[in-house]
Structure 1
């Protein structure tokens, strides 16, 4: 019988498998996808948010625990378990030497991402390179890996894991780690969670999935039926406003449009609906997907002028370009009169001081609702550009309640041999909102804990 069974194939699963193997356990990892799509959403990641009290290789200055905690508390609106959040934060300061040992390489922040050079360590080659490095290391260490192996049921007796089922095959293990992702690719479940709005729309029908098509939430649903303790709101997720032309699945990082804070966002009625300059983009970018989801038709339009070009990461698809704002409205098929009324009011309300997109500057609007708090400059220099944006879900926050040992809970009691990591428990730390790189911090911290605890439960 295998010592530790790991279900999932992304960052958290791989961290668990590596830690369990290092502890001396025999390990089998089951990945639902084919080999070429392995790695889940981790293949689309770029960086890890890291606490550090002084400069460290690719990380500049310092990013102490308290600042990381306050950033997390702010974006979640306090919907976070402080104990588990601080555990994640502290773990983020010590994991990189271990990651390097398993082949992960880091690089300095690139142009367009310099405002996270202090807080985030970037992976050389991105998430795909990280995933490949971990798989190489796992196989070198003797971890067994099986692809095209979706687990559809677990045998659990009195809170103890007994076996997993892949179709008609039954796989026993002394301990198990669940790290199989959220339910973002399950359209039926998204529809059920979001329901129908007052306009008679089903918002979830217009959502794009930034990540893997294989995250169907099968095990979250199954664990609910098994009586596991659940945490999180099914409508909360890492949801980004992405290019409306993005593919339905696996668009990843390149579908993001990072120009929102440099211009204005309007809905299909040509009206602004939120403060584009509320805070730095890495802290607020994942708010905009949900904001767009609440707009008519689940679509929004980012409007910038030539002054913004070169100040954000260039998107894959070029924006719609026009020599005048009325022409841009027509090209985007927005109501011209309402659009111009919005832009004229915004331009007149701008109070431009010293523009600096790297700090919370003093450029703001006056007498305008909603306000634009920072980086407010008139949109008046052609050519003008517009991007149609839709909600892009990366991962959902509904998952399994856990503790500092990554144990799954049943009726408040921690399982002795069933553990959880990654997206399947992220809702313990992320009740809502997001800040760049924290998903990898959670997955790495709890993947490593879960692997160690599973090996211990298996007698190592």
Structure 2
């Protein structure tokens, strides 16, 4: 495809935030060009791997049941971030999420009722029929029907910033270098997690053992280019959405299926067969995102999950089958951890379990006594053969170091707002996610700020 040189707006990135921006800007009459760094088969960034969208609503709406008001949503966010959030931007994302859901449906996204079990989120999260890939494909169809042009494998290398304005966008495409001079630019090109050297700069050498759950194309090139030119940054480079995933997952792009949901019903140990955290602290949707950092802090950045036969069917099946053994000692040998020590750890845990009623889908208070660390819910002795195990590694979804924006999604430079530059999605999510993660909230941020950025950029370009 020839490079069109007359686009009003250039959008860098091809995921959810970029597409929401493109559709909104095109509907407002702007001529839009998307530069997607990935090949067409991998288009969509991390949005390909998503499943749901966290949505405020005052009453049942679409597939969402009951109500989930703005105050409860904000409280949930404060719990996972420890208060590290920009209240104005956070509340903007939360309040706008209600109107986004019907907008998504109007633009081709289909929803389905949520799954039951440990990830039951029917009240808070709207699940995509066909997952994130279907959402991405729907948005591309809508965007292209509106006349949005898309170039794949178009890698942006530099934005020229002069006197608080972007004057040029440089990129490579089909073996050649190109320069465009659009009226407005929207950066929606994600975090830097796929650049493992940059991760190691932030975290230290341990980061080389991390797996990257998301796209291998989010390398932070545009983010670094803008930060190097004095654009204001937000967020901590060591903070990210990181979960504990199956240690057998690929280095990149394993996606959501590599996550393990068995932790609440297990004992988790490190390579020395020692427990290191309360596996039953809270329901899994509120705690799965802390386990990536917990595992990252362990020797060799690895953990091991141990369950028994009575817990095998309580969680979403894993994409790789668990390691299976008839005894704890045999399981330890198969997993390469000290057998005697694991037997001792499991025996100590079993002795600390108390009698009570077990309720797998809610906090049941079935706790250990006299054990450090404790297990505060779902603590049942691990005694029923066969025994099963998984290895756990830190799986990074996206990083939180990003571009500082205001409530209009406008990027903030050394002299205040950059006149014709907006940002949406993971590249600015660190404004709202200072630490921790809330299931489905990345899609909320991308959708809300993508739409805002598209509207604002189109308004600027049209006038």
Structure 1 length normalisation: TM-score?
A: 0.97
Aligned to 2:448: 445
Offset at 1:451?
Answer: 0.6
Match among 358, 362, 368 for residue 361 of structure 2 = 358
Contact 1:210/1:394 (CA < 8 Å) preserved in 2?
yes
Q: Secondary structure at the match of 1:156?
A: strand
Residue 303, structure 1, aligned to residue 312, structure 2: no
In 1, Cα distance between equivalents of 2:312 and 2:234:
42
Aligned to 2:63: 58
Q: Residues 314-329 of structure 1: matches in 2 within 5 Å?
A: 314-329=317-332
Match among 186, 205, 208 for residue 195 of structure 2 = 186
In 2, Cα distance between equivalents of 1:176 and 1:424:
14
Offset at 1:351?
Answer: 2.2
1:24-48 Cα deviation digits (max 9, x unpaired): 1110110001111100010000000
Aligned to 2:460: 457
Residue 166, structure 1, aligned to residue 144, structure 2: no
In 1, Cα distance between equivalents of 2:51 and 2:192:
22
Offset at 1:208?
Answer: 0.8
Q: Structure 1 377/54 Cα, relative in aligned 2: closer, same or farther at 3 Å?
A: same
Contact 2:191/2:399 (CA < 8 Å) preserved in 1?
yes
Aligned to 2:352: 349
In 2, Cα distance between equivalents of 1:33 and 1:446:
22
Residue 252, structure 1, aligned to residue 261, structure 2: no
In 1, Cα distance between equivalents of 2:384 and 2:58:
43
1:76-125 Cα deviation digits (max 9, x unpaired): 11111111111111111111111111110000012445521111100000
In 1, Cα distance between equivalents of 2:182 and 2:355:
64
Contact 2:118/2:360 (CA < 8 Å) preserved in 1?
no
Q: Secondary structure at the match of 1:286?
A: helix
In 2, Cα distance between equivalents of 1:262 and 1:404:
42
In 1, Cα distance between equivalents of 2:361 and 2:61:
21
In 1, Cα distance between equivalents of 2:260 and 2:119:
16
Contact 1:302/1:387 (CA < 8 Å) preserved in 2?
yes
Q: Structure 1 58/169 Cα, relative in aligned 2: closer, same or farther at 3 Å?
A: same
Q: Structure 1 446/352 Cα, relative in aligned 2: closer, same or farther at 3 Å?
A: farther
Offset at 1:375?
Answer: 1.3
Offset at 1:56?
Answer: 1.6
Contact 2:55/2:444 (CA < 8 Å) preserved in 1?
yes
Moved more, 338-347 or 220-229: 338-347
1:339-383 Cα deviation digits (max 9, x unpaired): 112111111112242211222111011111111111111111111
Q: Residues 160-309 of structure 1: matches in 2 within 5 Å?
A: 160-167=165-172, 168-195=177-204, 202-309=205-312
1:149-193 Cα deviation digits (max 9, x unpaired): 010100111221222001331111111100001111101101111
In 1, Cα distance between equivalents of 2:449 and 2:337:
46
Unaligned runs of 5+ in 1: 196-201
Match among 35, 44, 64 for residue 49 of structure 2 = 44
Unaligned runs of 5+ in 2: 1-5
Q: Secondary structure at the match of 1:71?
A: helix
1:409-438 Cα deviation digits (max 9, x unpaired): 013611221000001001001111111111
Contact 1:352/1:376 (CA < 8 Å) preserved in 2?
no
Q: Residues 17-166 of structure 1: matches in 2 within 5 Å?
A: 17-112=22-117, 114-166=119-171
Count of residues in Structure 1 that have an aligned counterpart in Structure 2: 454
Offset at 1:262?
Answer: 0.9
Residue 15, structure 1, aligned to residue 24, structure 2: no
Q: Residues 329-348 of structure 1: matches in 2 within 5 Å?
A: 329-348=332-351
In 2, Cα distance between equivalents of 1:278 and 1:60:
26
Q: Residues 344-423 of structure 1: matches in 2 within 5 Å?
A: 344-411=347-414, 413-423=416-426
In 1, Cα distance between equivalents of 2:208 and 2:138:
36
Offset at 1:301?
Answer: 0.6
Q: Secondary structure at the match of 2:156?
A: coil
Aligned to 1:199: none
Residue 430, structure 1, aligned to residue 433, structure 2: yes
In 1, Cα distance between equivalents of 2:213 and 2:453:
26
Offset at 1:321?
Answer: 0.6
Aligned to 1:198: none
In 1, Cα distance between equivalents of 2:259 and 2:21:
30
In 1, Cα distance between equivalents of 2:460 and 2:318:
47
